[in-house]
Structure 1
Amino acid sequence: MLGAQESASRNLHISTSEHLHKDTVPFLRRQRLQLAMSSMGSPVLDIATPATHTMGLFLQPYVVKHVHPDIQHHQKITQIIITGSPQRYAQLSDTCIDSLRPTVSWIDSHTIHLNCFPSRSLMLHYASVVATYLSLFRRDSGIVHLRPLDSDHTVRLIRESNLQAIGKIDLAIIGNVNNLTGLEGLTDHWYGFDRSEFSIFRWQKFTSRKHQAVAVIGCLEQLWGDTGGHILRALCTQLNVKCVIYIAKCGSLSEEYTSNGWIATGTKAFLKGEVIQWSCPLEPVIDMSKDMSKKVARGPIVTVPTPLCETRDWLSEWASKATWVDCEVGFIAKAAVELGVQFGFLVVVSDNLWHPEGQNLSNEDSPTVISARKVLYDQMTKILNSLLLRLDAS
């Protein structure tokens, strides 16, 4: 099976000898950086602190895992520029799905570029992560700068990628597809190793019992934020897809749902002030029996730019409006509704914002979490196999 276990592929694991100064926490404050990007207006980046963020003391280990070692170990850096720069995918034939993370280019002895996949959402996320890290370790978060990104850059890259090589399909299953090992029709043989400049996708394509063309599609890069919506639009315009199912993870805004004990789904999303509602093809399948609905919970989801904006004040505001929080579903749902594509999501509840202790985003590579998630992915696979049969019969 292509792809390492989800826990290994979702995070950049970094060890560091640095520790928070004993006087850091009292002096930390919630800062706001005005970041000028010509194609994005002037977005505001929240720099999280343990005193105000829902992760509390788990904020530091979460952030450290996602900051490049060069930034951590070189104290004399005076400028960190977040850029959108695709990697040389033709050289990455053995790379796992969802395993690529930003790289660093040294411009001079004091300046580095943090090269992200060219997605505005992802670049904002990493700018927030790096700035939060610097603030936590009493370094100057003001040295983080975002390089302007053309609003169509991601669209062009996806359009020119190897996605079109998949051919026409009826159903696409996208996202954390590494773990769907029991899906009917799935094998150990993946496609997409064409060594082209933008061969960023890996897939398996098969025909279901009633001649539905199905593709299970993974991306080498993080499918983050607005990228999800761009991919759905490409699936529709290039591959004529009729239905898309997204597999990933989310946080719970309800105290009821424990970390790594539930699968979340829904038919309503909040995105940048918009409310998006749709009819989900998974609903009839989940309602078929208690066995299908086991460990599945439904509710509205709010899509945010980064987990670092999830402060305690934010949680108090949103807990009465939404059950789940993530960074992609709203974008994908919006594109699906606009294009008339059926859409559904099945996502692991990775953390509970009310209860950061125990299993959370800072320790999701632990054997306990991996074992718990396998149970949930097996249940997702059972639901998807039933969906295939239902779509076959329609």
Structure 2
Amino acid sequence: MTTTAPAAVPAGHTMGDRLADYVLPKVPVDLLTATNGRAWVYPNRSLSFLLGGDKREGKRFNWRRPYFTVADRVLHCVVPPGRDYAHHYTQLIRAACALTGLPADVTTEPPTPGQGLEFMDHWLPAHLPASDRVILGYVEPLLRDRTTAWAHRPGFGWRTARVGNTTALLLGCEFSFWGDLAGDLVTALAAHGHTGGVVYVGKLGGLQPDMAPNTLVVTGTTTRIEGRHLTWNSALDLAQAPATLRSGVRHATVPSVLDETRTWFEAHRADFDVVDPEIGHMARAATTAGVTFDYLHIVTDNLCGTYEHGLYGERAAPVATGRRRCLHDIETILHRSLA
């Protein structure tokens, strides 16, 4: 059992006054108030799929969330078995307490070693179509003009796309895979022989002042993860890339966006351009398994705090328009790289 560092508060976090807009919708404040800030975060104890946390709202993927319940005057938060998942939701609860004036008494039970991989192994469909490359993340809008229909099993859905001589498997996940759990997914895919390479299409935060949210696609082949630098080779064809693409960016892997405090930002802005919780884990897993890895991510927030939109307001019309343009450019790069 562990406790964590002091909670993020607006004055100390890069989201500033918008921190509440990010945190509070993710935590049942009424239940947290009823327990007076007492909470317990722990991984689901069996391979059973998440029973609650339904945030579907018309989504095909990324709609299952950790679920909350109250027992013995303690708020129980049940998360998928990832270290970073447990850390992130612990920080969310502690921040919610700080924002609402509650005392924070949060206990965290991390997953046991290997539990995340076992979870992914259990839910990953056993008979996925053969493919040369697996695309993860924002898969639903990609390569629609050349794909099969969606197939579904509990937890995952997929379709295949033929681009030139390459078969790509677009694999969607009903639950969000956070941090180290994303690396477990790559390990499971490679271990089952489903792919020779992975492309992750997602979103991340920019550290440089000219990185306007939802106008820029980034990629790179380096990260720092858990105090170590990691470099890998790219399989993308970036010749004649769209103007929105910025390649060769310097990436940092952190467990949670709530760790992106002003102190962290000032200490790292000179050394890194972008940050997220997954890329380092996925790259390390792919490198260990001997398969290629690339990411094509939309910069969706900027830690400098000088832009109107970020993770705290993702449903505004300008955000949706900007992301559609970026996804179009990502598809252009995928066409060139897979053909």
Q: TM-score, normalised by structure 2?
A: 0.91
Equivalent residue of 2:34, what SS?
coil
- After superposition, residues 150-161 of structure 1 pair within 5 angstroms as 150-161=112-123
Deviation at 1:162, TM superposition (A): 3.5
CA deviation profile, 1:67-108 (whole Å, cap 9, x unmatched)? 135435x4344531112124149x999962011112122223
Q: TM-score, normalised by structure 1?
A: 0.79
For 1:56, which of 16, 25, 36 is the aligned residue?
Answer: 16
Equivalent residue of 1:82, what SS?
strand
Which residue in the other structure is 1:111 paired with? Answer: 74
1:268–1:301 contact (8 Å) kept in structure 2? yes
Equivalent residue of 2:330, what SS?
helix
1:54–1:356 contact (8 Å) kept in structure 2? no
Which residue in the other structure is 2:27 paired with? Answer: 67
Equivalent residue of 1:123, what SS?
helix
For 1:253, which of 204, 207, 224 is the aligned residue?
Answer: 207
Equivalent residue of 2:70, what SS?
strand
- After superposition, residues 205-354 of structure 1 pair within 5 angstroms as 205-210=160-165, 212-282=166-236, 285-286=237-238, 288-289=239-240, 292-298=241-247, 299-354=249-304
Equivalent residue of 2:255, what SS?
coil
For 1:80, which of 39, 43, 53 is the aligned residue?
Answer: 39
**Aligned AA (1:238):** H
* Distance in 2 separating the partners of 1:135 and 1:75: 15
CA deviation profile, 1:145-172 (whole Å, cap 9, x unmatched)? 1124212111111111243221432200
Identical pairs, percent: 25
Which residue in the other structure is 2:136 paired with? Answer: 174
Equivalent residue of 1:232, what SS?
helix
Equivalent residue of 1:47, what SS?
coil
CA deviation profile, 1:304-325 (whole Å, cap 9, x unmatched)? 0111111112111111111100
**Aligned AA (2:40):** I
1:183–1:385 contact (8 Å) kept in structure 2? no
Which residue in the other structure is 1:102 paired with? Answer: 66
**Aligned AA (2:43):** G
Deviation at 1:339, TM superposition (A): 1.9
Deviation at 1:204, TM superposition (A): 0.7
Equivalent residue of 1:245, what SS?
strand
1:58–1:356 contact (8 Å) kept in structure 2? no
2:4–2:90 contact (8 Å) kept in structure 1? no
Equivalent residue of 1:383, what SS?
helix
* Distance in 2 separating the partners of 1:375 and 1:84: 37
Deviation at 1:192, TM superposition (A): 2.1
Q: Relative to structure 1, is the Cα distance of residues 148 and 362 closer, same or farther in structure 2, using a 3 angstrom cutoff?
A: closer
Equivalent residue of 2:294, what SS?
strand
Deviation at 1:293, TM superposition (A): 3.1
**Aligned AA (1:200):** G
**Aligned AA (2:67):** T
**Aligned AA (2:182):** G
For 1:202, which of 120, 137, 157 is the aligned residue?
Answer: 157
Which residue in the other structure is 2:147 paired with? Answer: 186
Larger Rg: 1
Equivalent residue of 1:229, what SS?
helix
**Aligned AA (1:84):** P
* Distance in 1 separating the partners of 2:199 and 2:36: 43
Q: Relative to structure 1, is the Cα distance of residues 207 and 179 closer, same or farther in structure 2, using a 3 angstrom cutoff?
A: closer
Which residue in the other structure is 2:336 paired with? Answer: 386
* Distance in 1 separating the partners of 2:79 and 2:317: 29
Deviation at 1:257, TM superposition (A): 1.0
* Distance in 2 separating the partners of 1:157 and 1:344: 24
Unpaired stretches in structure 2, ≥5 consecutive residues? none
Which residue in the other structure is 1:137 paired with? Answer: 100
- 1:121 is aligned to 2:84: yes
Q: Which moved more, 1:237-246 or 1:268-277?
A: 237-246
Q: Relative to structure 1, is the Cα distance of residues 159 and 183 closer, same or farther in structure 2, using a 3 angstrom cutoff?
A: same
